Amino acid sequence: MTMRPHMRVSAEVADALDAGGPIVALESTIISHGFPYPANVECARECERIVREEGAIPATIAVIGGRLAAGLTADEIERLGTTRDTPKASRRDLPLLIARGSDGATTVAGTMAVAAMVGIQVFATGGIGGVHRGAERSFDISADLEELARTSVAVMCAGAKSVLDIGLTLEYLETRGVPVLGYRSDAFPAFYTRDSGFGVDARFETPAEIAAVLRAKWETGLVGGALVANPIPEQYALDPAEIEATISHALADAREGGVRGKQVTPFLLARIHELTGGASESANKELVWSNARLAAQVAVALAEYGPVGTHRHGRHE
Protein backbone atom coordinates (compact mmCIF):
# COMPACT_ATOMS: atom_id res chain seq x y z
CA MET A 1 0.00 0.00 0.00
CA THR A 2 1.36 3.40 -0.99
CA MET A 3 0.91 6.19 1.55
CA ARG A 4 0.12 9.59 0.07
CA PRO A 5 1.37 12.57 2.03
CA HIS A 6 -1.26 14.60 3.87
CA MET A 7 -3.90 11.91 3.29
CA ARG A 8 -6.07 10.12 5.83
CA VAL A 9 -8.36 7.31 4.76
CA SER A 10 -10.63 5.59 7.25
CA ALA A 11 -10.00 1.91 7.87
CA GLU A 12 -13.43 1.04 6.45
CA VAL A 13 -12.81 2.92 3.20
CA ALA A 14 -9.27 1.54 2.89
CA ASP A 15 -10.53 -2.02 3.33
CA ALA A 16 -13.17 -1.46 0.64
CA LEU A 17 -10.55 -0.06 -1.73
CA ASP A 18 -8.27 -3.05 -1.14
CA ALA A 19 -11.16 -5.43 -1.78
CA GLY A 20 -12.35 -3.56 -4.88
CA GLY A 21 -15.68 -2.95 -3.19
CA PRO A 22 -18.22 -0.25 -4.03
CA ILE A 23 -17.57 3.16 -2.46
CA VAL A 24 -19.41 6.47 -2.82
CA ALA A 25 -17.70 9.79 -2.16
CA LEU A 26 -19.84 12.44 -0.45
CA GLU A 27 -19.00 16.12 -0.21
CA SER A 28 -18.76 18.19 2.97
CA THR A 29 -19.69 21.65 1.67
CA ILE A 30 -23.29 20.55 2.03
CA ILE A 31 -22.60 20.10 5.76
CA SER A 32 -20.86 23.43 6.35
CA HIS A 33 -22.68 25.60 3.80
CA GLY A 34 -25.73 23.74 2.48
CA PHE A 35 -28.16 23.66 5.38
CA PRO A 36 -28.50 25.17 8.86
CA TYR A 37 -27.72 23.03 11.91
CA PRO A 38 -28.97 20.40 12.73
CA ALA A 39 -30.49 19.76 9.28
CA ASN A 40 -26.98 19.70 7.77
CA VAL A 41 -25.76 16.90 10.04
CA GLU A 42 -29.00 14.95 9.67
CA CYS A 43 -28.75 15.19 5.88
CA ALA A 44 -25.13 13.97 5.87
CA ARG A 45 -25.91 11.04 8.15
CA GLU A 46 -28.90 10.07 6.02
CA CYS A 47 -26.71 10.11 2.89
CA GLU A 48 -24.30 7.69 4.56
CA ARG A 49 -27.17 5.48 5.74
CA ILE A 50 -28.68 5.31 2.24
CA VAL A 51 -25.32 4.41 0.67
CA ARG A 52 -24.89 1.56 3.16
CA GLU A 53 -28.46 0.40 2.60
CA GLU A 54 -27.68 -0.01 -1.10
CA GLY A 55 -24.58 -2.11 -0.39
CA ALA A 56 -21.78 0.46 -0.76
CA ILE A 57 -19.40 2.20 1.67
CA PRO A 58 -19.81 5.96 2.17
CA ALA A 59 -16.68 8.13 2.14
CA THR A 60 -17.55 11.63 3.24
CA ILE A 61 -14.61 13.83 2.23
CA ALA A 62 -13.21 16.96 3.90
CA VAL A 63 -10.00 18.58 5.02
CA ILE A 64 -9.56 17.85 8.72
CA GLY A 65 -6.70 19.49 10.59
CA GLY A 66 -4.73 19.97 7.38
CA ARG A 67 -5.19 16.40 6.14
CA LEU A 68 -7.28 15.24 3.19
CA ALA A 69 -9.76 12.91 4.84
CA ALA A 70 -11.76 10.25 3.01
CA GLY A 71 -14.21 8.82 5.50
CA LEU A 72 -15.24 11.04 8.42
CA THR A 73 -16.20 10.07 11.94
CA ALA A 74 -19.59 11.03 13.38
CA ASP A 75 -17.82 13.57 15.59
CA GLU A 76 -16.11 15.16 12.57
CA ILE A 77 -19.41 15.50 10.72
CA GLU A 78 -20.88 17.13 13.82
CA ARG A 79 -17.85 19.45 14.02
CA LEU A 80 -18.28 20.59 10.43
CA GLY A 81 -21.98 21.06 11.01
CA THR A 82 -21.59 23.24 14.08
CA THR A 83 -18.43 25.21 13.31
CA ARG A 84 -19.05 28.57 11.69
CA ASP A 85 -16.98 29.87 8.79
CA THR A 86 -15.32 26.59 7.79
CA PRO A 87 -13.78 27.58 4.45
CA LYS A 88 -14.91 26.00 1.21
CA ALA A 89 -12.22 23.78 -0.27
CA SER A 90 -11.99 23.58 -4.04
CA ARG A 91 -8.90 22.16 -5.77
CA ARG A 92 -6.97 25.44 -5.52
CA ASP A 93 -7.63 25.68 -1.77
CA LEU A 94 -6.37 22.24 -0.77
CA PRO A 95 -2.63 23.04 -0.50
CA LEU A 96 -3.36 26.22 1.45
CA LEU A 97 -5.48 24.36 4.00
CA ILE A 98 -2.91 21.56 4.27
CA ALA A 99 -0.08 24.02 4.89
CA ARG A 100 -2.10 25.86 7.55
CA GLY A 101 -3.32 22.72 9.27
CA SER A 102 -6.90 23.92 8.80
CA ASP A 103 -10.29 22.32 8.27
CA GLY A 104 -12.08 22.72 4.95
CA ALA A 105 -15.43 21.68 3.49
CA THR A 106 -14.82 20.20 0.06
CA THR A 107 -16.83 21.43 -2.92
CA VAL A 108 -17.71 19.25 -5.90
CA ALA A 109 -14.30 19.99 -7.42
CA GLY A 110 -12.44 19.46 -4.14
CA THR A 111 -14.28 16.23 -3.39
CA MET A 112 -13.61 14.86 -6.87
CA ALA A 113 -9.91 15.66 -6.58
CA VAL A 114 -9.52 13.88 -3.24
CA ALA A 115 -11.70 10.94 -4.33
CA ALA A 116 -9.51 10.40 -7.39
CA MET A 117 -6.35 10.50 -5.26
CA VAL A 118 -7.51 7.47 -3.28
CA GLY A 119 -9.24 5.60 -6.12
CA ILE A 120 -12.92 6.34 -5.53
CA GLN A 121 -14.75 6.54 -8.85
CA VAL A 122 -18.33 7.45 -7.90
CA PHE A 123 -19.52 10.61 -6.15
CA ALA A 124 -22.97 11.86 -5.12
CA THR A 125 -23.78 15.54 -4.70
CA GLY A 126 -26.83 17.79 -4.96
CA GLY A 127 -26.17 19.88 -8.05
CA ILE A 128 -22.95 20.89 -9.76
CA GLY A 129 -21.68 24.42 -10.17
CA GLY A 130 -21.47 25.82 -13.66
CA VAL A 131 -21.49 28.95 -15.78
CA HIS A 132 -23.12 31.76 -13.82
CA ARG A 133 -25.70 34.04 -15.37
CA GLY A 134 -23.87 37.07 -16.73
CA ALA A 135 -20.60 35.14 -17.09
CA GLU A 136 -19.93 36.94 -20.39
CA ARG A 137 -19.17 39.95 -18.16
CA SER A 138 -17.96 38.37 -14.92
CA PHE A 139 -16.16 35.25 -16.25
CA ASP A 140 -17.71 33.47 -13.24
CA ILE A 141 -17.43 29.78 -14.16
CA SER A 142 -17.31 27.08 -11.49
CA ALA A 143 -14.17 25.00 -11.05
CA ASP A 144 -16.52 21.99 -10.98
CA LEU A 145 -16.62 22.00 -14.78
CA GLU A 146 -12.84 21.86 -15.20
CA GLU A 147 -12.65 19.13 -12.56
CA LEU A 148 -15.16 17.06 -14.52
CA ALA A 149 -12.96 17.46 -17.59
CA ARG A 150 -9.73 16.35 -15.88
CA THR A 151 -10.72 13.91 -13.11
CA SER A 152 -12.02 10.38 -13.72
CA VAL A 153 -14.89 10.39 -11.23
CA ALA A 154 -18.57 9.96 -12.11
CA VAL A 155 -20.81 12.57 -10.48
CA MET A 156 -24.45 11.82 -9.67
CA CYS A 157 -26.41 15.07 -9.42
CA ALA A 158 -29.81 16.68 -9.94
CA GLY A 159 -28.34 18.69 -12.80
CA ALA A 160 -26.90 22.16 -12.39
CA LYS A 161 -28.16 24.56 -9.78
CA SER A 162 -31.03 26.52 -11.25
CA VAL A 163 -29.39 29.85 -10.37
CA LEU A 164 -26.91 29.18 -13.21
CA ASP A 165 -26.97 29.56 -16.99
CA ILE A 166 -27.69 25.93 -17.75
CA GLY A 167 -27.40 26.23 -21.53
CA LEU A 168 -23.88 27.64 -21.30
CA THR A 169 -22.98 25.09 -18.63
CA LEU A 170 -23.88 22.25 -20.98
CA GLU A 171 -21.99 23.89 -23.85
CA TYR A 172 -18.91 24.10 -21.64
CA LEU A 173 -19.19 20.42 -20.68
CA GLU A 174 -19.53 19.43 -24.34
CA THR A 175 -16.42 21.42 -25.24
CA ARG A 176 -14.44 19.72 -22.46
CA GLY A 177 -15.57 16.24 -23.52
CA VAL A 178 -17.72 15.42 -20.48
CA PRO A 179 -20.62 13.04 -21.28
CA VAL A 180 -23.93 14.01 -19.71
CA LEU A 181 -26.03 10.91 -19.01
CA GLY A 182 -29.69 11.08 -18.07
CA TYR A 183 -31.04 8.56 -15.57
CA ARG A 184 -34.54 7.64 -16.74
CA SER A 185 -34.86 11.09 -18.28
CA ASP A 186 -34.27 12.73 -21.65
CA ALA A 187 -34.23 16.16 -19.98
CA PHE A 188 -31.37 17.75 -18.09
CA PRO A 189 -32.76 18.70 -14.67
CA ALA A 190 -32.40 22.07 -12.95
CA PHE A 191 -31.94 21.08 -9.32
CA TYR A 192 -35.37 21.95 -7.84
CA THR A 193 -37.15 21.08 -11.11
CA ARG A 194 -37.02 18.03 -13.36
CA ASP A 195 -36.62 19.75 -16.73
CA SER A 196 -34.36 22.71 -17.51
CA GLY A 197 -35.51 22.89 -21.12
CA PHE A 198 -32.23 21.28 -22.25
CA GLY A 199 -31.51 17.65 -23.06
CA VAL A 200 -28.89 15.08 -22.07
CA ASP A 201 -26.46 13.24 -24.35
CA ALA A 202 -28.11 9.87 -23.77
CA ARG A 203 -30.73 8.27 -21.56
CA PHE A 204 -30.21 5.14 -19.44
CA GLU A 205 -32.74 3.11 -17.50
CA THR A 206 -30.54 1.16 -15.06
CA PRO A 207 -27.45 1.76 -12.89
CA ALA A 208 -25.77 -1.18 -14.68
CA GLU A 209 -26.08 0.61 -18.04
CA ILE A 210 -24.46 3.72 -16.56
CA ALA A 211 -21.66 1.60 -15.07
CA ALA A 212 -21.02 0.07 -18.50
CA VAL A 213 -20.53 3.54 -20.02
CA LEU A 214 -18.13 4.54 -17.25
CA ARG A 215 -16.17 1.32 -17.64
CA ALA A 216 -15.92 1.82 -21.42
CA LYS A 217 -14.75 5.42 -20.99
CA TRP A 218 -12.01 4.70 -18.48
CA GLU A 219 -10.82 1.38 -19.94
CA THR A 220 -10.08 3.09 -23.23
CA GLY A 221 -7.98 5.72 -21.47
CA LEU A 222 -10.44 8.59 -21.92
CA VAL A 223 -9.49 10.65 -18.90
CA GLY A 224 -12.13 12.73 -17.17
CA GLY A 225 -15.42 12.38 -15.43
CA ALA A 226 -19.02 11.87 -16.46
CA LEU A 227 -22.10 13.67 -15.26
CA VAL A 228 -25.11 11.54 -14.40
CA ALA A 229 -28.24 13.69 -14.27
CA ASN A 230 -30.81 12.26 -11.89
CA PRO A 231 -33.92 14.48 -11.69
CA ILE A 232 -35.38 15.28 -8.29
CA PRO A 233 -38.17 12.77 -7.47
CA GLU A 234 -41.36 14.09 -9.02
CA GLN A 235 -43.29 14.38 -5.76
CA TYR A 236 -40.67 16.77 -4.33
CA ALA A 237 -40.09 18.95 -7.42
CA LEU A 238 -40.97 22.64 -7.19
CA ASP A 239 -43.08 24.57 -9.71
CA PRO A 240 -40.74 25.78 -12.51
CA ALA A 241 -42.36 29.20 -12.95
CA GLU A 242 -42.44 29.91 -9.23
CA ILE A 243 -38.83 28.87 -8.63
CA GLU A 244 -37.62 30.92 -11.62
CA ALA A 245 -39.35 34.02 -10.22
CA THR A 246 -37.81 33.30 -6.83
CA ILE A 247 -34.34 32.91 -8.33
CA SER A 248 -34.69 36.19 -10.21
CA HIS A 249 -35.63 37.89 -6.95
CA ALA A 250 -32.66 36.32 -5.13
CA LEU A 251 -30.24 37.29 -7.94
CA ALA A 252 -31.43 40.90 -7.74
CA ASP A 253 -30.86 40.86 -3.98
CA ALA A 254 -27.34 39.49 -4.51
CA ARG A 255 -26.50 42.23 -7.00
CA GLU A 256 -27.85 44.95 -4.73
CA GLY A 257 -25.89 43.53 -1.80
CA GLY A 258 -22.63 43.29 -3.75
CA VAL A 259 -22.39 39.53 -3.17
CA ARG A 260 -19.59 38.02 -5.28
CA GLY A 261 -17.35 34.99 -5.74
CA LYS A 262 -17.69 32.03 -3.39
CA GLN A 263 -20.44 33.73 -1.44
CA VAL A 264 -22.88 33.89 -4.36
CA THR A 265 -24.26 30.35 -4.25
CA PRO A 266 -24.65 30.13 -0.42
CA PHE A 267 -26.35 33.52 -0.45
CA LEU A 268 -28.74 32.54 -3.23
CA LEU A 269 -29.64 29.20 -1.63
CA ALA A 270 -30.31 30.87 1.72
CA ARG A 271 -32.39 33.60 0.10
CA ILE A 272 -34.37 31.07 -1.95
CA HIS A 273 -35.01 29.13 1.26
CA GLU A 274 -36.45 32.28 2.83
CA LEU A 275 -38.56 33.18 -0.19
CA THR A 276 -40.02 29.67 -0.54
CA GLY A 277 -40.82 29.34 3.15
CA GLY A 278 -38.48 26.37 3.52
CA ALA A 279 -39.83 24.38 0.56
CA SER A 280 -36.49 24.61 -1.26
CA GLU A 281 -34.66 23.06 1.70
CA SER A 282 -36.97 20.04 1.74
CA ALA A 283 -36.54 19.62 -2.01
CA ASN A 284 -32.76 19.95 -1.65
CA LYS A 285 -32.59 17.16 0.92
CA GLU A 286 -34.72 14.80 -1.16
CA LEU A 287 -32.66 15.27 -4.31
CA VAL A 288 -29.39 14.74 -2.42
CA TRP A 289 -30.70 11.50 -0.93
CA SER A 290 -31.94 10.34 -4.32
CA ASN A 291 -28.49 10.96 -5.79
CA ALA A 292 -26.80 9.09 -2.93
CA ARG A 293 -29.01 6.07 -3.62
CA LEU A 294 -28.30 6.10 -7.36
CA ALA A 295 -24.56 6.58 -6.75
CA ALA A 296 -24.46 3.54 -4.49
CA GLN A 297 -26.29 1.45 -7.08
CA VAL A 298 -23.87 2.56 -9.82
CA ALA A 299 -20.88 1.90 -7.55
CA VAL A 300 -22.13 -1.63 -6.84
CA ALA A 301 -22.60 -2.27 -10.56
CA LEU A 302 -19.18 -0.82 -11.39
CA ALA A 303 -17.47 -2.93 -8.72
CA GLU A 304 -18.81 -6.08 -10.37
CA TYR A 305 -16.51 -5.37 -13.33
CA GLY A 306 -13.42 -5.30 -11.12
CA PRO A 307 -10.99 -2.40 -10.63
CA VAL A 308 -10.05 0.08 -13.33
CA GLY A 309 -6.49 1.29 -12.69
CA THR A 310 -4.75 1.20 -9.33
CA HIS A 311 -5.59 2.60 -5.93
CA ARG A 312 -3.22 4.81 -3.99
CA HIS A 313 -4.18 5.64 -0.46
CA GLY A 314 -3.12 5.71 3.17
CA ARG A 315 -5.00 4.31 6.13
CA HIS A 316 -6.52 6.27 8.97
CA GLU A 317 -3.99 6.61 11.74
Report, as residue numbers or ranges, the catalytic residues.
Answer: 27, 161
Please state, in angstroms and rounded to a whole number, the distance separating the CA atoms of residues 100 and 102.
5
For residues 4 and 163, give the distance between their C-alpha atoms in angstroms, rounded to a whole number. Answer: 37
